[in-house]
A = this chain, B = another copy of it.
């Protein structure tokens, strides 16, 4: 292991409200995670040929894109917003729907986290859907990593945490290290979840929220690793697939 690699750390942030307190002070990449469902859906969209995706925090800001050839994907609390072409289920982002399209997306948690992180130099999106290709790409950059869990309305959630743990585990096998309690906790929780992720996530509150509104058909897909070969990368407030651009 070379000396630079030894120095690279992984910090995990469990909520947008904790992002102002991250300690990793310079030269870092932010990985935004919103497994259910924003970052999984965006990975799927790029895998199926979307050209660019504009993440928008506020619903009203999506309107100006409506007549500029953008498709609108949007939800709040899992419910499709008025005027949107579809909601945020990854299954909506099929080849048929998104190939060669520009998309605007607004979600309950994920797009707010992206906006908040956009002050950082480098922002990418992570999900189980792109975990291996993301770990390989992060390995090639000479930067520390901050994994930013979107949570649920600023609250800690299990699904983003176990994804942070899974990604941290991969990065540590590649030579990263950590001294952050949050990352240790995420790895420990991932190790409990790993043998049967779907059974583990049964207790997650958002899993029940989705079930209540009939949107839990996506669960198995959202926790399946490496269904896509993309890295959503924020360039001037627009996400592109850095592996293609």
Contact = CB atoms under 8 A, between A and B. Distances in A.
- Main secondary structure, interface of A, reads helix
A157 interface: yes
Contacts of A203: 181, 184
A155 B185 contact: no
Contacts of A185: 156, 158, 161, 185, 189
Interface residues of A, number: 29
A21 B152 CA distance: 10
A23 interface: yes
B189 A156 contact: no
B192 A156 contact: no
Contacts of A152: 181
Interface stretch (A12-20, A89-97, A235-243): A12-20
Residue among A21, A154, A158, A180 with the highest chain B CB neighbour number at 10 A:
A21
A179 interface: yes
A204 interface: yes
Nearest to A188: B192
A227 interface: no
Interface in A175-194: 179-182, 184-185, 188-189, 192
A14 B17 contact: no
A153 interface: yes
Interface of A: 14-15, 17-18, 20-21, 23, 152-158, 161, 179-182, 184-185, 188-189, 192, 203-206, 208
21 contacts: A14-B156, A15-B15, A15-B18, A15-B21, A17-B17, A17-B18, A17-B20, A18-B18, A18-B154, A21-B154, A21-B155, A23-B155, A155-B182, A156-B181, A156-B182, A158-B185, A179-B208, A185-B189, A188-B188, A188-B189, A188-B192
